[in-house]
Chains A and B, each alone.
Chain A
Amino acid sequence: MTTPQVELGRYDNPGGLGALPRSNGELAFDAPWQGRLFGLVLHLCNSGCFEWDEFKRHLIAVIEDSDVRDTRDPSVYYRQFGEAFCRLAAEKNFFDESTLEQRTRIEAQPLTHDHNHPR
């Protein structure tokens, strides 16, 4: 059941702008999408899609552009994190914004509930 730990040091900026939200030293999330987004961006960086410093520049810019500088709240921080990734994705031509908007609408649609089973 042991899983190799990701070395987070290179992705963090403790005490600085863009520092990862933590609670008692552990990463803090208050919804699953935040962890999923963080995992996706780390995976893409580890796979060589971009350098972490490239992403970090966008993250710091997003935080500076917003009115919210206190990023200890995971729900705020990871929204800024997502916006930073989208800016990087645009720079790298990973996808265009209209494609993402369209896919988001598809993902938001519930499946049809057409069956009977214990509820």
Chain B
Amino acid sequence: MDWLSLADVEARVNALESLMVEKGLAEHEAVDAVVASFENDMGPMNGAKVVARAWTDPEYKQWLLTDATAAIADMGFTGLQTEHLVAMENTDERHNVVVCTLCSCYPWTLLGIPPAWFKYPQYRARVVKEPRSVLAEFGLILPDTVKIDVWDSSAEVRYLVIPQRPEGTDGMTADELVPLISRNSMVGTALASSPQGT
């Protein structure tokens, strides 16, 4: 088995993980936890810094919404699957959630290595058809008045969700806001945390 000449190495790694899980020797969530533990600058912290700057700098937010690729490049985040980034802003009327129905395209230099659930066929198939139910399973229950838009990533376009800035954060600096911004909130399966930790 020569991995150096393997064409679809991502599929091979997914196959390895699923076989080990089926055999009862591994758990997807445990792999997620190990990955999260060794991610450093490459983890979701980069995306959180972008969102925190957008929350505190209206001009930057406007730039992010009109040309996200250039706006993140201004913070040193370039290439490696963020070449064509689009940022979508959550509002009181509209919530955005991201999926990749075809494979697992993901702005990983901003958000780190994708969690197992992002690649689950169930998530990929269901979130486009019944997003409200899927988000509820993540613990995110949205009022019926909030419209949900689902954005399908591709090799050409990756999406970043700008979650709503939580109440009670007036006067906080960008650095203070970063810990409130989780990976899931930038995929759209969670809200940003409040300073009280909810």
Contact = CB atoms under 8 A, between A and B. Distances in A.
Interface of A: 1, 3-6, 8, 26-27, 29-33, 35-40, 42-44, 46-47, 49, 66, 68, 76, 79-80, 82-83, 85-86, 89, 94-95, 97, 99-100, 103-108, 110-111, 113, 115, 117-119
Contacts of B114: 32
Max chain B C-beta neighbours (<10 A), residue from A3, A39, A76, A89: A39
Interface of B: 1-4, 6, 8-20, 23, 25-27, 30-42, 80, 101-104, 106, 108, 113-114, 121, 124-125, 128-129, 149-152, 154, 157, 179, 182
A111 to B, nearest CB: 5
Given A26-B41, A82-B3, A117-B128, A6 B149 contact: no
A116 to B, nearest CB: 9
- 9 smallest CB-CB distances across A and B, nearest first, come from A103-B15, A108-B11, A39-B35, A79-B3, A107-B11, A35-B113, A83-B3, A39-B34, A107-B14
11 contacts: A32-B104, A33-B14, A36-B14, A40-B16, A46-B34, A79-B4, A82-B9, A86-B16, A105-B11, A111-B101, A113-B152
Contacts of B9: 33, 79, 82
A45 to B, nearest CB: 10
